[in-house]
Structure 1
Amino acid sequence: MIGILIGCLTLVVVGWAIVKGKYAPLVLFASGAFMLACAVFFDTGTFMPKKALPTGNDYLNIIEFIRYMFSNRLAGLGFLIMTMVGFASYMTHIGANDAFVNIAIKPLSIIRNPYILIFVAFMLGKAVSMVITSAVGLGVLCLALMGPALAALGINKKAIGAVFVTSGACSLVLLGGSTVASAKACDLSILDYVFLFKIPAGIPTVLAIGLAHVFWQRWLDRREGWNCEEHKGETLVFSEDVKRPSTAAPKIYAFLPFLPMVLVVVFSQYCISSIKLDITALMLLCVIIGMVCEVIRWRGNYDKIAAGLKVFLQSMGKALSGVVALVIAAGVFAEGFKALGMLDAIVDVAHNVGAGAVGMSILFVAITTLVTIIAGSNGASFYPLVEMVPKIARDMGVNPVTLVLPMHQASTIARPLSPVAGVVVAIAGMLQMNPFELIKRASVPCIVGLIVHHVSVFWLAI
């Protein structure tokens, strides 16, 4: 009982710290170490993995456990995330992402109906999200590129902002840090997690969000007395200079950001099963291919090639201090949570009230959504919780996908509902509008997305 009480109080403190914008990895490391120390003192549970080296002292074992987490996560999941982030930054540096975006926005010029255009613009934003995984970067870039064209057709700037603030909602990215962590928690390969569950559940969700935008933006426009015909030809003026894609990179570079997604399928049981290529090695191969393209493009200019490699390595370092540190800290936090007996208590409560997979999934989604809205970050809400899922799923005898995937996507779908989320603040600032007005415009599409996605996951998991 004492362990559960300490765990609940720690959760309150952690929630308060995240709301106050404190550095999440430090919050999770400190709270996790505290809970582990309490577990030792009150003898509520063990936490040392078999591969860790006992120190001979229970309290010093906490330090050894943290060392083990760094060693274990950096060598596997952490290094993979670092290479993914480095690859994405390298693609931006060489102009490959811009080359794709320049091609993607062309369909806008052939559509004239403003509300159909809202749907198309959202779908184009989702297409761009496949190569630009930063929610802020994605939203700002899409707004800078497509916003003026939408405004010229008379579309309300509030609707334009809402479309692009939700561009990152319900991620369909094949390779990403949260996707890798989710697949691991479900004990599935990345391909199986993505192609059997993530994308099949994501496609109807994306379509539902897009359609919800059409009807919700139209209803709000009519309520505000906005007539698109009366506003045709208007210009969209941003409050600050924004980056526009360069046209310097060759058009063929538009394929490079998708290369990892193609090769991960090619070198798998679905295609060439004789070649076994680790996903991290595959990411490094894609970077090398990109560098070869740069060698040809710049005719062997050493400084150009070296600058690209420097961007790749520096981005890996930034990922270590950001997402990777959060993943490792979340592991320490989750282990402390577990050692105090909190997970067993949650499972017992679920069994006693008759809440099976559906009930637990709704609970996790509700917590993830709430934390995402409060903190404005999908990582702070997702990584600590996903660490706890495998044990809960085993103890309840349910498919871990039914717990992980709804929570995974809820962390992205709920982000546009947070007034402190980077993408909300950035787009509201560019359009010189109140963030809460932007959230209002994004609210119904996001709520529809949460519901449709949850239903889709359980339909797939049956």
Structure 2
Amino acid sequence: MPIFMIASTILAVFVVSYYVLKKYNPIFVFLFSGLILLIISYYFVGSSIPKAPVREHNNFLNVLLDSYFFLVATFKSQLSGTGLIIMSVAGFAAYMKCINASAKLAFLANKPLGKIKNKYLILSGTFVVGMLLKIVISSYTGLLLLLLACIYPVLVSLKIRPVTAVCVLSLIALDYGPKDANSITMAGMVNQSDNVVGLFLNYQIYSVIAYIVTIAILIPIYFSWIDKKDKEKNLLQDEVGDIEIIDPKCPTFYIFFPWLPVVFLFGSYFLGIKLDVVSANFMSISIVFLIEFLRHRDARKLGNDMSVILKGMAEIFVSVVSILIAASVFAKGIENLGGLSVLVDAMKSLGGASWVAILFCIVVLSFLVYFAGVIMGSGIAAFNAFGKLAPEIATKLGIEPITLVLPLEIASCLGRAASPISGGILALAGFAKLNPMDIIKRSTPLLIIGMIVNIMVAFYLATFN
């Protein structure tokens, strides 16, 4: 039976990966495969279907209905919990884009870069600035589009190669902070949805700082070496067109608006006031509504702005929340097959070498999520597909669930940045008129180093924190 459980788990992951690679809709693949796995695991492994009503006898029709009961329960819990939080974040982000506040912030953030004379140090500065902006502009693709409009032209005007410039932008990959969808999902996985700020300050910040410092130091060394190699091969003839640097039309003080939810969340955390992410976002929207009304004296505009917010929430439901729901069903199906539990129990049998089991699980699960991110082109899809398995595994290992979930969250971001079908990478490639693989093959070595740093930090937090 254990061999069957392991083999069936591996086969399920392989089959799902195959159909995602064949460009089947991942939401459909996750939902359909998850329901099938729940039924298979009931009959062949004896795993009960969660949320199912208690019955004396179960025929196939009842088992099928029970799997749909679980699907409905998952929809309800996600839409009223993590899904609502993510949608509120997306609505606020759409509003900031609509009034040019986020674009103004990105435009002004590049000003200090022009004072740096070494172009490779400018690249490091760009990376650090971009990573700092990520805490308030949580969308990977959205932030890259802003940087392409505001910072990329500055880099090119300073004689930095377009391919090098977009490669550095692609490395601004980590999703972190209390406003981020992946962070919110991570908090939900470890049953701490009301403690996103605490998880960031106590755990996530260490992984983020380690990544930023490591990559910022390596960027000048690595890209100067790449340029030297390309020069020897006579490959430095990049075409650069005329690019206009546009200053977004809105007052300068609007750059503070994207920070409002972050300020509310951190302020309430340190003051001991309980404030959730949804409330912080809608409080911020109310404040900006008032200022926009005082500025334009047009109540009709506020009605149109509300439509922008609701459309932003609807779009994130289609692109993120629906994947989160589908991946939750798939993850439960994989969990019910029991293969991962068998492997973890086998590793625990090493006895005194329990640290080997912890390191093994961190490495295997992190790279599983990383390659899932590469295949899917979506960090949140990869994270939700396999991240939900981590809390139970962490409990079996005797470590805090967050210390195993966190490296998977980071790995999903790095895998997305290494995917030629990721929306962010396609945006960079299209803007610089490059093949996406030109970016991937240059950035992947640094992303792999980022993975190693991620695993090292996670192992430290799991064993010594």
**TM-score, reference length from structure 2:** 0.90
TM-align CA RMSD: 2.4
Q: What's the counterpart of residue 152 of structure 2?
A: 147
1:88 aligned to which of 88, 93, 100: 93
SS at match of 1:58: helix
Which residues of 2 match residues 13-412 of structure 1 at below 5 A?
A: 13-42=15-44, 44-49=46-51, 53-54=53-54, 57-167=62-172, 169-188=173-192, 189-225=195-231, 236-237=240-241, 247-268=248-269, 270-271=270-271, 273=272, 275-299=273-297, 301-352=298-349, 355-412=356-413
Q: Distance in 2 between matches of 1:213 and 1:110?
A: 18
Taking the aligned partners of 2:10 and 2:239, their CA distance within structure 1 comes to 52
Contact 2:103 2:146 in 1 (8 A): no
- In 1: Cα distance, 2:162 partner to 2:445 partner: 17
Q: What amino acid sits opposite 2:183 in the alignment?
A: T
Q: Distance in 2 between matches of 1:246 and 1:309?
A: 25
| 1:5 Cα deviation after fit | 4.1
Please state whether the residue corresponding to 2:153 is helix, strand or coil. Answer: helix
Deviations along 1:189-217, whole A, 9 cap, x unmatched? 21221011111221121121122111110
Unmatched runs of 5 consecutive residues or more in structure 1: none
Residue type of the alignment partner of 1:218: S
Inter-partner Cα distance in structure 2 for 1:135 and 1:74: 23
For these two proteins, the number of residue pairs brought into alignment is 448
Task: State the distance in 1 between where 2:454 and 2:394 align.
Answer: 20
CA distance in 2, matches of 1:77, 1:245: 36
Partner of 1:9: 11
Q: Distance in 1 between matches of 2:153 and 2:76?
A: 49
Q: Which moved more, 1:40-49 or 1:175-184?
A: 40-49
Q: Write the letter of the residue equivalent to 2:395.
A: R
Compared CA separation, residues 149 and 183, structure 1 to 2 (3 A) = same
* Offset of residue 43 of structure 1: 5.4
Residue pair 2:94, 2:309 contacting (<8 A) in 1 also: yes
In structure 2, the CA distance between the partners of 1:171 and 1:179, relative to structure 1 (3 Å rule), is: same
Amino acid paired to 1:181: T
User: For residue 342 of structure 1, what is the amino acid of its counterpart?
Assistant: G
Whole-Å Cα distance in 1 between the matches of residues 335 and 154 of structure 2? 52
Cα distance in 1, alignment partners of residues 249 and 412 from structure 2:
36
Q: Following the alignment from structure 1 to structure 2, what is the Cα–Cα distance between the partners of residues 124 and 24?
A: 33
Contact 1:393 1:400 in 2 (8 A): yes
The amino acid of 1:288's aligned partner reads S
Question: 380-389 or 337-346: which moved more?
Answer: 337-346
State the alpha-carbon separation in 2 of the partners of residues 340 and 164 from structure 1. Answer: 40
- CA distance change for structure 1 residues 6 and 113 in 2, over 3 Å: closer, same or farther? closer
**CA displacement, residues 5-42 of structure 1 (integer Å, 9 cap, x when unaligned):** 44333222111111122221211111111011113333
Cα separation, partners in 2 of 1:212 and 1:92, compared to 1, 3 Å: same
1 CA distance for matches of 2:139 and 2:175? Answer: 11
Instruction: Provide the C-alpha distance between the structure 1 equivalents of 2:328 and 2:154, rounded to a whole number of angstroms.
Output: 45
- Aligned-partner Cα distance in 2 for 1:197–1:278: 19
**In structure 1, C-alpha distance between the alignment counterparts of 2:275 and 2:135, rounded to whole Å:** 22
In structure 2, the CA distance between the partners of 1:78 and 1:42, relative to structure 1 (3 Å rule), is: same
Residues 347 and 396 in structure 1, CA contact (< 8 A), matched pair in contact too: yes
Identity of aligned residues (%): 28
The answer to whether the 8 A contact 2:39-2:67 is kept is yes
CA deviations over 1:399-432 (Å, ceiling 9, x no partner)? 2233111111111123232222222222222222
Structure-1 residue corresponding to 2:427: 426
Maintained 8 Å contact 2:87/2:314: yes
Aligned counterparts of 2:437 and 2:159: Cα–Cα separation in 1: 22
Distance (whole Å) between structure 2 residues aligned to residue 245 and residue 187 of structure 1: 44
Cα offset, 1:4, TM superposition: 4.5
SS at match of 1:223: helix
Task: Kindly state the Cα deviation for residue 453 of structure 1 after the two structures are TM-superposed.
Answer: 2.4
1-structure distance, mates of 2:54, 2:93? 39
Partner-residue secondary structure (3-state), 1:59: helix
Report how far residue 219 of structure 1 moved: 0.6
- State the Cα distance separating 1:221 from its structure 2 match: 1.2
Q: Distance in 2 between matches of 1:98 and 1:457?
A: 34
Query: Could you say what secondary structure the match of 1:225 adopts?
Result: helix
Unpaired runs of 5+ residues, structure 2, are: none
Q: Aligned partners of 1:264, 1:337: CA distance in 2, in Å? A: 35
Amino acid at match of 2:199: Y
Is the CA contact 1:25–1:330 (under 8 Å) kept in the aligned structure 2? yes
Amino acid at match of 1:295: F
Work out the CA distance in 2 between the residues paired with 1:267 and 1:134.
Answer: 24
Residue 452 (str. 1) matches residue 450 (str. 2): no
